Amino acid sequence: MNISTLSREFEFSGVLYPDPDPSMSPEEVRDLYAASHPELTTASILGPELKGKTQRYQFQISLGTKG
């Protein structure tokens, strides 16, 4: 019996970002990347979607109108 772990990657605006720490939750990863992409602070997290041996999470910002 072989046991293999799935790696994770995160997608935002068509760009793939590596998993900074597998022990972090997807929400913690979003918060980490929000330091360089402030629009991620309110982004929702979709996934994971299985891509081969990789779990892909997608950060999706919601566009809305004010007023």
Decide if 38 is inside a domain.
yes
**Domains of the chain: total:** 1
Decide if 66 is inside a domain.
no
Decide if 2 is inside a domain.
no
**Following DSSP, what letter does each residue of 10-45 receive, concatenated?**
EEETTEEEE-S-TTS-HHHHHHHHTTT-GGGGG-EE
Domain that holds residue 28: 7-60
Q: Give the pLDDT confidence of 7-66 residue by residue, as tens digits.
A: 999 999 999 999 999 999 999 999 999 999 999 999 999 999 999 999 999 999 977 656
What is the C-alpha to C-alpha distance for residues 19 and 30, in angstroms, rounded to an integer?
10
Q: Rounded to two decimals, what is the model's pTM?
A: 0.84
Decide if 24 is inside a domain.
yes
